[in-house]
Structure 1
Amino acid sequence: MRKFLASIAFMLLAYQGANSQFFTHDIGFHAGTATIQTDYGIRNNFLSSYGNSAISLSFTHTLHFFNKDPRWNADHKIWSYLALRSELNIITNGNFQHHGRFVNENTQLGMQLRAMTGTTNITSVGFQLEYYLRCLKDFVYPWSDIKWNPYILGGLQYSMFSNTLNSTLGDWRQDINVLPAKWRTPGALDVGKGTTFAATFGAGIRYKFNPKIDFNLQFNWQFFFSDAVDGLQANVVENKDNEWLLNLQFGVIYHLNFDKPLSIFKR
């Protein structure tokens, strides 16, 4: 963790000196869908794991650690494969309901589960370190014939969330008995607003559409350091895990300051 934080600190300092070092930048917009694993539903049920989905939007800025000085690039080759992405990610319209065999049973529990729904909205800000399989300098500059560049990523985000809980049987705040028994105990509910940190891991691929624009397809896993993102945190075996989500997005990336290579780069 210390090495990770030290690397982030170094790259932030490099960011501050970007103008003097001529480091390169791009901005992007991504949209897609996120499937959220929550305490709604039962374990090992497909719809419980992937049926609760939401809209995913991201606004990004990426700092590349190569510049227009060939000598600097030659002495720091590893940095031509790395990029630091700062990101604002919005997960919205996350609607939850229970799935699984208990929901379909003609019992009081089944009736309570069918009546119980929830929502959540999550806004995350943070940094992700990207490692590309091909040299970014060779990929980005217009004289390159490279069109595809896969990458892997990992990062840390700060997430702010707001959730709700509802039942068609009545107002659970007035009559807690409209909910299943495990969510009636003290501390089993945490409905409202909250914050947490989250780790992200994933992979993606860029396609160079033209000298100024890349298309990007990305898939990542976001693990929250909290079990209250969905508002449910009953201390029972089947609900013991923290929330996490799978995020699939398609994006457009615009290059800011490296569409015109210096003559020294021409072959």
Structure 2
Amino acid sequence: MNTKILFSVLIICLSIPFAGKAQLAFSNEVGVIAGPLLFQSDFGLRNNVDTNINNQGWGIGIVHYFNFSYRADCNCYTRDRYFNDHFKLRSEADLHYTKFTHEGIESQKDTEEGRDLRDHTGSSLVFELGMQLEYFPLSIRDFQAGGFRIAPYISLGAHYVGFNPSYESSQDVPGATPEDIYFDDFLVGDGGELGGISDASGNTWALTGSVGIRYKLTVLSDLNLELRYHKYYSNWVDGLNPDPEFYPPNKYDDSIVWLNIGYIYYLNF
């Protein structure tokens, strides 16, 4: 991971809420989110039920919102414009961890190749930092004022991503070669420690999109339920990226689907 870039992005995101504090035209919200995720990777077969069930992870995040419908400096509503009443800007830092196993027909075969797949496991620890623009089709002002208790939204954004994968096999014993241990087609690739297998950390970008709802809990707090999709612009996030010519199922970059629940609190500044 390029720590200088990551540190710079972190400083920018953390400093934005306090920029121009003397003339705030917005208010702030903070919260936490957490929940399970499905990691779509080169472990197992895509669209396979067993793969989706077993390659699950968990994630947690800290979120901050710019609320443009309310001004913190005067405790009053902002000018009644469509953007102010229907959009929020969210910045966040997420951390999620997933363990991987090979599932599907190939790994279930009673063959040497099937045993190689079953014995090969992995994991990935991923840190993300970025922003999303949220759109609320209903009025944010009316929701804050208690006009209705549920407010749906959609969002689109981008994240800077740092990842740290790992791999192992129960066949990895003294004297065994990679050809003895791992599925042969995984050993052909560009950039991995073992061709298409690697435990090298790295960084990339992700395009994010979500649909969710807010539930008004109190005047100054909401519950949040959200389903998210993150598309990573790297195929090494899971530590497995074999050459597609030798392993045709490797057609897509890595991605996750994340279901999370959160608690959001409205600040007075």
**What is the 5 A alignment of 1:45-194?**
45-68=48-71, 72-74=78-80, 76-92=81-97, 94-141=98-145, 144-170=146-172, 175-177=177-179, 178-187=181-190, 188-194=196-202
Number of residue pairs aligned between Structure 1 and Structure 2:
244
For 1:20-31, list aligned pairs within 5 A.
20-31=23-34
| TM-superposition CA deviations, 1:197-246 (whole Å, max 9, x none) | 00101110001111111001011100000000011111122012100000
Match of 2:261 in 1: 250
Question: TM-score, normalized by length of structure 2?
Answer: 0.84
Q: Secondary structure at the match of 1:103?
A: helix
List gaps (5 residues or longer) in structure 2. Answer: 1-11, 191-195
* Change in 2 beyond 3 A, CA 1:117/1:151: same
**Distance 1:186-1:77 versus aligned 2 partners, 3 A rule:** closer
TM-superposed CA distance for 1:21, in Å, is: 2.8
| Cα contact 1:36–1:50 (8 A) shared by 2 | no
- Alignment RMSD: 2.3
- On the 8 A contact 1:38/1:49 being kept in 2, the answer is no
Identity %: 27
Matched, 1:241 2:235: no
SS of the counterpart of 1:227?
Answer: coil
Q: Name 2:7's counterpart in structure 1.
A: none
Tell me if structure 1 keeps the 8 A contact 2:186–2:243.
no
What displacement does 1:106 show?
1.1
Change in Cα spacing, 1:136 to 1:151, as seen in structure 2 (3 Å) is same
Work out the CA distance in 1 between the residues paired with 2:128 and 2:175: 29
CA shift, 1:190, in A, is: 2.9
CA contact (8 A) 2:35 2:60 kept: yes
Decide whether aligned partners of structure 1 residues 44 and 66 sit closer, same or farther in structure 2, where only a CA change above 3 A counts.
Answer: closer
Question: Can you give the 5+ residue segments of structure 1 that lack an aligned partner in the other structure?
Answer: 1-8, 259-267
Whole-angstrom distance in 1 between the partners of 2:206 and 2:175: 30
Q: Tell me the TM-score normalised to structure 1 length.
A: 0.85
Q: Distance in 2 between matches of 1:100 and 1:149?
A: 40
Distance 1:149 1:195, change over 3 A: same
Q: 8 Å contact 1:25–1:257 — kept in the other structure?
A: yes
